[in-house]
């Protein structure tokens, strides 16, 4: 199961590379000051270049999918990325400059969001958490790239062979093992600093009991913070078959389960998992139509011809962004 879930990160990286190659990312007009960096494209292409030497198998999968990604997928990747960045930027603005803040990315995969954040914010501490194999690949790529190693000011710890810096840590951990997860977070982070938790297509692959325990324990440890979660939702309308079809396709093609897809199948039900928090949840189609300007929409249309508007709408109504504040 672990290896199957890891494959979804390679899909996400492929989609990110495709969206960057086609010009969807980064957005020149969205003001996401803390999450963007002039070298956004370069750091991702450098990661892909070095990945080829670390694992030709993973690189080949990523490269092949990135070459054949359809416009509807590029739109989805764009929305997924900017939605998280906008929510993260809003949190950092509320905290204010000059105050120490922590970001914990649970199930980080190959995400490189930490690079612009650490370069833009001197008081930020960032922790990436994922399965041991995922962390091992990411650690090797970051270390074997002089460019990325210098950007993150990485050092190799002789006792473990892992790479880290004073403000950035990679943690190998099975998030289904709550004791191991909390032990790592308690050792590396402080409960007293404002903390943002990122879960990007993570909770959907966990069983209900384990995911709820993770939410409750993490929110209980940090005194104040914000949880930013991006996930699919199955759909709650009686005639909505999207979630059932998605589950069947994943099971048949990859033997992959989404145990809670049809349990938390609407924005309201998904938000109910975050007890006693101030939550907002919005599906991605609503975000697209309400928060992306006409100017930005025109830019997106200029990149590729998209004739699958109805398909885009159906897909994006079944993904959400949740922000829970406590």
Query: Which CA distances in Å does 75 have to 60, 81, 228, 265, 312?
Result: 23, 10, 20, 22, 8
Contact indicator for 232, 319 with CB cutoff of 8 Å = yes
- Report the binding-site residues: 80, 107, 174-175, 200
**DSSP result, 29-66:** SS--TTT--TTHHHHHHHHHHHHHHH-HHHHHHHHHHH
The DSSP H or E segment spanning 323 is: strand 319-325
- Report the binding-site residues for S-adenosyl-L-methionine: 80, 107, 174-175, 200
Contact indicator for 247, 261 with CB cutoff of 8 Å = yes
Q: 3-class DSSP state for residue 217?
A: helix
Other C-beta atoms closer than 10 Å to the C-beta of 79 total 25
Quote the tokens at residue 160: 């473990």
């Amino acid at each position: 199961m672990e290896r199957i879930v890891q494959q979804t990160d390679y899909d996400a990286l492929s989609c990110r590379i495709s969206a960057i190659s086609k010009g969807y990312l980064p957005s020149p007009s969205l003001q996401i000051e803390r999450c963007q960096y002039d070298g956004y494209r370069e750091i991702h292409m450098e990661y892909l270049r070095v990945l080829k030497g670390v694992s030709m198998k993973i690189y080949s999968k990523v490269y092949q999918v990135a070459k054949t990604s359809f416009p509807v997928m590029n739109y989805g990747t764009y929305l997924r990325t900017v939605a998280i960045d906008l929510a993260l930027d809003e949190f950092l603005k509320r905290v204010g400059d000059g105050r120490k803040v922590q970001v914990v990315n649970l199930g980080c995969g190959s995400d490189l969001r930490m690079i612009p954040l650490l370069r833009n914010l001197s008081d930020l501490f960032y922790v990436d958490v994922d399965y041991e194999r995922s962390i091992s690949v990411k650690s090797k790529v970051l270390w074997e790239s002089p460019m990325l190693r210098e950007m993150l000011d990485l050092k190799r710890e002789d006792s473990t062979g892992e790479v880290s810096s004073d403000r950035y840590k990679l943690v190998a951990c099975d998030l289904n093992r709550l004791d191991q997860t909390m032990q790592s977070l308690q050792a590396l982070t402080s409960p007293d600093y404002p903390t943002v938790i990122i879960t990007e297509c993570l909770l959907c692959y966990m069983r209900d009991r384990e995911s709820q325990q993770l939410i409750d324990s993490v929110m209980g440890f940090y005194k104040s913070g914000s949880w930013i979660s991006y996930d699919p939702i199955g759909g709650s309308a009686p005639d909505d078959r999207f979630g059932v079809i998605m589950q069947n396709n994943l099971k048949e093609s990859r033997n992959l389960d989404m145990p809670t897809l049809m349990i938390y199948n609407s924005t309201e039900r998904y938000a109910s998992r975050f007890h006693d928090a101030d939550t907002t949840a919005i599906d991605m189609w609503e975000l697209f139509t309400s928060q992306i300007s006409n100017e930005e929409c025109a830019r997106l249309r200029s990149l590729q011809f998209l004739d699958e508007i109805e398909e885009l709408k159906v897909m994006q109504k079944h993904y959400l962004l949740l922000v829970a504040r406590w």
